[in-house]
Every structure is written in C-alpha cells, then in structure tokens.
Homo-oligomer: A and B are copies of this chain.
C-alpha cells in the first residue's frame, strides 16, 4: 500500500578513516526511499536547490521513487559534512549548511494525500506535524527525530509523539528523551508519551522494538567491511516501512519481519558511499541476506 516519506535530500561531504567523498547524494528521505523502493514505489516529499543534479533525480526515479513531491527552491541544496572515527561509533558533524532547508514548508501533493503509510524523517517537529496534517487518513505513521529537537523543541516533539503510531530512536536519543539510562525502561517511558511502538536502534549492536503487544530484539547484520555508515538509520527505516507497507499491516508478526528487512537494507547501505550500494541490489540479494540473518537468529 502507498508509502509516503517526508524528509531531506542533501549533498554530503564524508570523511572516514579510509576514504573521503564530496557531494555524495544523501539526505534522510533519499536513503529511506531507496531502501523502501525494494518493497513498494515510495512517494517522496522534500526540497532541493537549483544546484540539484537532474541525474540524481533520475537515479531516484529509476529506483522507482515517485519524486512528484520534490520541490526545487531558490538557492543551494542542503549540504552536510561528517567525519567518522576509525571505530565508526563516533561521528563528528564538520559543517551544516541548511540552504533551501531553512525555509522548508512541506507541501504534500494532492496525489500523495491518500497515503496510508507515512514516514516523517528527521526534521523540526513542527515541520513534521505540518506535513502529517496534509495526509488525509494515514493508517500507520512512524517518525524519526534527533538530539537537537529533544533539546530545543521538546514541547513540539511531545505534541508529535501523541500523533504518531511509532517512533524510531537511537540509544542516545532514547536516554536523552526519557532520562532513563536503561534502554528497556527508556523504551517503556517513550511508549508512555504516546506512540504505540518504539524502535530503538543500537548501531552495530542491532535494534529492538517494544509496544503493547510486541517486544522483539535483533542483532545487526554481521557486515565485515563497513565503508560508510551514513544513511544506515534511514535505510533501516526504509526497509522496515517498505515491508510494512507492502504487507498493508502493522501486526506484530509483520513488524518482526520488518525489523529483519530494515536490518538487511541498512547492511547494504553501509557497504559503500551514497545510495549506490543499496539501490543496485537485486531482490535475490536482499532475500539471500534476509535468509542469512534469519539463520543467525533462529534458535
């Protein structure tokens, strides 16, 4: 069923301990949409600048992404720079140039407003709410957020949490949002704030989800050669929501499998820079890795 993502498209400058890349097509919505495109043709809402390459838009279209909702605004595309420590666990933001994002006012095209599955990628909670209000009868809404909004827009974030079905957080964000250092207690506390499902990501240590009728924990896929972790979280969310949409269900048994699909899409994402490594995967490659992961976790 129809899947809508609202988020950023970006050009990233990335430094790892082994390599550097400049102007890599990135952004939360980009990674999400490419991951989801392996399951359903996702609808994308975002903004780019006049410098955005037609080629990059074509790449998204080829992947099956409906880019009708990508607005071209005056100015340059959002640009982000990041540097990873050799252990991958620490990321430094080297610069953030909001550019066209600064005045981003999301407009969900008429043809997208009947979307049933919605992912609100990381953005100011007011922007996320504004986007959500334009969707007529969403059935399952998941949002992402970040430390910045927990710090400077907490009230808005709490309002958002009361409006969505699911939130995806990393360990640090969950602790910050709830003041609980134990992640199980943190997840429970998040559930008390509104959503019926929380997905808690722990990077190389996997992820777990908790809700009123589901508690499921999964290790990360054992990737042996990480090249660039940028986009891993959004690729996870894209695989997760892509599968959920394709099944038209957010029942526990679907959500459990969605965790595996998200883990698989994230594992392909980190094996290279940008969306290439993920976009170019075949259905067989995804299925093969899904089966590997299932084998690793089956008792």
Question: Chain A interface mostly helix, strand, loop or mixed?
Answer: mixed
Which residues of chain B are near A256, meaning CB under 8 Å?
Answer: 298-299
Cβ A181 vs Cβ B86 within 8 A: yes
Category for how many chain A residues contact B: 20 to 34
What residue in chain B is nearest A290 (Cβ atoms)? Answer: B299
Cβ of A174 to closest chain B Cβ, rounded Å: 13
CA distance A216 to B292 in the complex (A): 10
| A224 at the B interface (CB under 8 A) | yes
Which residues of chain B are near A183, meaning CB under 8 Å?
Answer: 204
A 184-220 binary contact with B (CB < 8 Å = 1; else 0): 1100000000000000001011101000000111110
How many copies of this chain does one complex carry? 2
Instruction: Identify which of B184, B202, B219, B298 contacts A299 (C-beta below 8 A).
Output: B298
| A284 at the B interface (CB under 8 A) | no
Cβ A296 vs Cβ B205 within 8 A: no
CA distance A181 to B224 in the complex (A): 10
Which residues of chain B are near A215, meaning CB under 8 Å?
Answer: 222, 295-296
| A111 at the B interface (CB under 8 A) | no
Cβ B208 vs Cβ A217 within 8 A: no
CA distance A181 to B89 in the complex (A): 12
Cβ of A286 to closest chain B Cβ, rounded Å: 16
Which residues of chain B are near A294, meaning CB under 8 Å?
Answer: 299
Question: Other than the known A205-B206, A298-B299, what 4 A-B pairs have Cβ atoms closer than 8 Å?
Answer: A183-B204, A202-B205, A206-B206, A208-B296
Interface residues of A (CB under 8 A from B): 86-87, 181-185, 202, 204-206, 208, 215-219, 222-226, 256-257, 260, 294-299
Q: Give 25 pairs: A residue, B residue, CB < 8 Å, sorted on A.
A: A86-B181, A87-B181, A182-B225, A183-B204, A184-B222, A184-B223, A184-B224, A202-B205, A205-B206, A206-B217, A206-B219, A208-B219, A208-B222, A208-B296, A215-B295, A215-B296, A216-B297, A216-B299, A217-B219, A217-B222, A217-B296, A218-B219, A257-B299, A297-B299, A298-B299
